[in-house]
């Protein structure tokens, strides 16, 4: 084996643009986090909405919600990204499609949309499971007190359900960070893309990938600990979710 290790490579200037290889990696990390966080907002809002719809007594709402989840879960993320990036602008009215294609940040917007919708289906599954895990008496008691169905959801069901599903939501958030790497296929220069370009320019394959791996692990550890803090902070004494 004759691989030439060179750990000093990180301090050498990147042939494209200003900084060193190290700053280019952190630049990529910035895009990874921005993409993941923006997509997470979409995923959480839509996921909560669709997941709630699937637990209501209205049959058409349940069916619509189920169809939504099946649609976004049964197509690979890569293909969904291609659909948003290559196909959607063609299906829009011509002017709008052309405008979209020429946006400088079209890769970023596409990545956020596709990751957001893809993850929203998975969040919807968790929300549905969380609501399903509550005793039926909670909803019944709410309506017995004279609350409307939306009020019962808003004040009784959802606050408890969200506390229960915080741990699975944490892993969905970790997934969205990891999945944002798929966006390198449509030209988003996030962390993995930066590691790949570092490997192509410097030929230091393993240093580049090691650095990216270490950064991903650190992000993971930070997210897990932040979510643990959040879990503690929102825990209601005496509730099931605070049971440990």
Give CA–CA dist 170/174, Å, rounded. Answer: 6
- Distance separating the N- and C-terminal Cα atoms of the chain: 51
**Integer CA distances (angstroms), 239 to 111, 163, 242, in order:** 38, 9, 5
CB of 171 to another protein, least distance (A): 10
Interface mask (CB under 8 A) for another protein, residues 196-235, using x and -?
x--x-----xx--x--xx--xx--x---------------
CB of 207 to another protein, least distance (A): 11
Helix crossing, 106-132 with 94-102: angle to 10°? 100
DSSP state of 184: G
CB of 128 to another protein, least distance (A): 15
The two structure tokens encoding residue 215? 């950064």
Interface mask (CB under 8 A) for another protein, residues 165-194, using x and -?
---------x---xxxxx-xx------x--
CB of 42 to another protein, least distance (A): 19
**Residue 83 vs 235, nearer CB to another protein:** 83
CB of 138 to another protein, least distance (A): 26
195 binds another protein (CB under 8 A): yes
DSSP state of 15: S
**Own/partner long-range contacts of 152-160 (Cβ < 8 Å, ≥24 apart):** 153/52, 157/131, 158/48, 158/52, 158/131, 160/134, 160/239, 160/240, 160/241
**Residue 145 vs 200, nearer CB to another protein:** 200
In the window 46-85, what residues touch another protein (CB under 8 A)? 70-71, 73-80, 82-83
- Note whether 127 and 161 are within 8 A (CB): yes
Residues lying near another protein in the complex (CB under 8 A) are found at 1-3, 70-71, 73-80, 82-83, 86-87, 90-91, 174, 178-182, 184-185, 192, 195-196, 199, 205-206, 209, 212-213, 216-217, 220
């Amino acid at each position: 084996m004759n691989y030439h290790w060179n750990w000093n490579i990180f301090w050498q200037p990147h042939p494209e643009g200003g900084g060193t290889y190290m700053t280019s990696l952190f630049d990529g990390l910035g895009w990874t986090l921005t993409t993941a966080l923006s997509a997470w907002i979409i995923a959480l809002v839509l996921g909560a909405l669709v997941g709630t719809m699937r637990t209501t007594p209205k049959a058409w709402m349940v069916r619509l919600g189920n169809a939504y989840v099946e649609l976004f879960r049964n197509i690979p993320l890569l293909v969904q990204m291609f659909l948003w990036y290559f196909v959607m602008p063609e299906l829009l009215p011509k002017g709008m499609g052309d405008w979209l294609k020429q946006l400088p940040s079209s890769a970023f917007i596409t990545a956020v949309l596709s990751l957001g919708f893809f993850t929203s289906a998975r969040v919807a599954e968790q929300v549905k499971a969380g609501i399903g895990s509550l005793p039926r008496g909670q909803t019944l008691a709410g309506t017995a007190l004279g609350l409307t169905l939306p009020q019962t959801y808003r004040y009784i069901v959802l606050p408890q359900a969200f506390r229960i599903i915080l741990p699975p939501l944490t892993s969905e958030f970790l997934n969205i960070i990891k999945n944002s790497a798929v966006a390198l296929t449509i030209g988003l220069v996030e962390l993995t893309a930066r590691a790949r370009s570092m490997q192509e320019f410097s030929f230091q394959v393993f240093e580049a990938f090691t650095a990216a791996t270490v950064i991903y692990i650190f992000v993971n550890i930070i997210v897990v600990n932040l979510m643990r803090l959040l879990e503690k902070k929102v825990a209601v004494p005496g509730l099931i979710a605070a049971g440990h």
